[in-house]
Copies of this chain bind each other. A is one copy, B any other.
Amino acid sequence: MTSTQAAEPAGERAGEQAAESAGNRRRGPSMADVAREAGVSGQTVSRVANGRHNVDPETRERVTAAMRRLGYRPNSAARALRSGRFHSIGVIMFTLSSFGNMRTLDAIAAAATDAGYTINLIPVPNPTRGDVSVAFDRLSEEAVDGVVIIVEAHLLDERDIELPAGLPVVVVDSNAGDRFPVVDTDQAHGARLATEHLLDLGHATVHHVAGPDRSYSAVHRREAWEATLRERGAPVPDALVGDWSSESGHRIGLRLAADPSVTAVFAANDQMALGVLRAMHESGRPVPAEVSVVGFDDMEESGNYWPPLTTVRQFFGEVGRRSVEALLHEVESGVAHGTTLVSTELIVRDSTAAPTAPRAAASVTG
């Protein structure tokens, strides 16, 4: 198929072979080469490459043929230089640890690709001010038209961390609402759903395994949990703070399991819920017979935990899509969106049930 591959363009290349293999890299044919090959001007090639309509069909055909023959690819650096647009969006995120972030990134990447944009991933190894600053510094040297920041974002409030001026930004999972457009899951709604579900089941109150304080989503979930309890006149136990890991969930779960008054637990994510589940098993407190557990996220695996976990589903895909949408809107129009909230849904599985006869380990009734 490939055969001789164009062979003779001009005198031009003699011992190209050797040079090409090593040092000479990445200098493919340019528009000028295509133009020569097709017998037209460079500008015409440009027009064809950009799908302009004012080109004679026959000429267009000749040019595309030449492109194919030469294996021409537009040079994005030159394009960007000329146009000042990079067709790329940066994504700043903490090491991709968390399930939710990853799903969001996935959706962002898909949406950006659809829109003809490229993703420039800028990892932040540690959520320290220094590392975040470095990431931001990098930004302006990088070639991006806008940025999505997925960082538990109290750091954005620091006065001395500064984004390059004039660079469109959208923030995910943060407040920062006044400084930047925000796209986020409706944390409060989700937490309310979970808490009410347990209350409706007849539990006297709901204990909460919270995420770390520095995370806004953790704080929002916690606040909504507390507000819901108050509204319903239920006592508000102290929230126990974990770090999102199932390990921390397990540690906290052990403490909860030791307290016989605990019958309902709402964990701020599925991983911590998993740890709680394990703690309950180890402590001989059957779920859901004695203790009900609800998570948050709806990871793929949640339905296969033991028992299958009742949880709040987040639509990460939607969050990602909306982020890109908002960002590109800003990039193209210069006008920033406001805040966008994506709702949640309660997925009821087998880890929740009505409490048994209060505080007595009687046999399961009917």
| Inter-chain contacts of A50 with B (CB < 8 A) | none
A143 to B6: give the CA distance in the assembly, Å. Answer: 25
Cross-chain contact B84 with A27 (CB below 8 angstroms): yes
Taking CB atoms and an 8 Å cut-off, the chain A residues in 1-55 that contact chain B are 1, 5-6, 20-23, 25-28
A-side interface size class: 35 or more
- Asked if A86 CB lies within 8 Å of chain B CBs, one says yes
Interface string of A119-147 (1 = CB under 8 A from B): 11111010000000000001011110100
Interface string of A149-168 (1 = CB under 8 A from B): 00000000000000011110
Closest chain B CB from A350 CB (angstroms): 10
* A300-B245 contact, Cβ under 8 Å, with A22-B334, A141-B76: yes
Closest to A20 in B: B166
Interface string of A326-351 (1 = CB under 8 A from B): 00000101110110000000000000
Cross-chain contact A274 with B166 (CB below 8 angstroms): no
Closest chain B CB from A106 CB (angstroms): 4
Cross-chain contact A304 with B246 (CB below 8 angstroms): yes
| Inter-chain contacts of A141 with B (CB < 8 A) | 73-74, 76
- Asked if A301 CB lies within 8 Å of chain B CBs, one says yes
Q: Which one of B106, B275, B308, B334 contacts A25 once the chains associate, using CB atoms below 8 Å?
A: B334
A84 to B24: give the CA distance in the assembly, Å. Answer: 9
Cross-chain contact B106 with A304 (CB below 8 angstroms): no
* A123-B118 contact, Cβ under 8 Å, with A84-B25, A246-B301: no
Cross-chain contact A246 with B278 (CB below 8 angstroms): no
Cross-chain contact A106 with B97 (CB below 8 angstroms): yes
